[in-house]
Amino acid sequence: MATPPETRTIGNHLEEPVNTHDHHEPAGQHLGAETGTKTDTTPLATARRHRPWPGRGRPARRPGGGAAPLRLPAVGGGRGRVTLWIAATHAQPAWAHAPRLVIRAPEKRCGKSRLLDVVEGACHQPFITVNATAAAVYRSITQDPPTMLVDEADTIFGPKADGHEDLRGLLNAGHQRNRPAKRYDPHKNRVETISTFAMAALAGIGRMPDTIEDRAVVVQMRRRTPTEQVAPYRHRRDRPRLQKLSERLKRMVA
């Protein structure tokens, strides 16, 4: 199946075309959408067929006329996976499952936090969980859930994980719809039902638990070699371009 032009455009922004053969299974299957030879009737597929968006198939341009791709850190061939996952965050109503994006680094200074910055700029309603309490994260998940971005995720699941039980439970349960959490509110003297379904990206050192990685798109980071050139990510310069891309993705699935 040919890669849709809008998806190739995202790949152009991230400076690597999507490799349509680099999948263990069709992306729609992993998300819970219908795939195969029959007509795909998911909201995202309908949007692709009937609502072409402005600038379709063309990457952003510099004022001087040249293409302006963003250079990702050394992600070991995972740019296509990151690209598709970012696009999927903008079509959450279409999915029965929300696969996690696991950005795994073997050591420090591999660019995992920088890659998370790129994801934050282009994904749907980013919500960075640094210093956020579990209660605040739970309350942020509405009918239109944000995309949770968890840096230093190894501190949530690793040896220093004490005190993060609620957040771990949310990240595990939120992979699938209709897996709400139950919380007792002593002020209202009643049990509340809280939604947990949301896309989430986790960046950390080492492997995540099997309960996360079995349901995840895994990107293995590495340190760049002395001969590799990686353009620095500048928040004030690069984030506006990512936000424009995010707006185009929103229009595509609106």
Q: Is the pLDDT of residue 202 over 50?
A: yes
CATH number belonging to the domain at 5-253, selected among 4.10.640, 3.40.50, 2.20.110, 3.40.1350:
3.40.50
Q: What is the pLDDT of residues 125-158, one digit of tens each?
A: 999 987 778 888 988 999 899 999 999 888 888 6
Rounded Cα–Cα distance for residues 96 and 67 (Å): 36
Taking 70 as the threshold, does the pLDDT of residue 53 lie above it? no
Alpha-carbon distances, residue 126 vs 18, 198, 223, 240 (angstroms): 23, 11, 26, 14
- On the question of pLDDT at 223 being above 60, the answer is yes
DSSP string, 18-77: --TT--SS-HHHHHT---SSSPP-SHHHHHHHH---TTTT---B-TTSSB-PPPP---TT
For residue 235, pLDDT over 80 is answered with yes
Q: What is the pLDDT of residue 75?
A: 55
The predicted-structure confidence for 75-94, as pLDDT tens digits, reads as follows 556 788 898 999 999 999 99
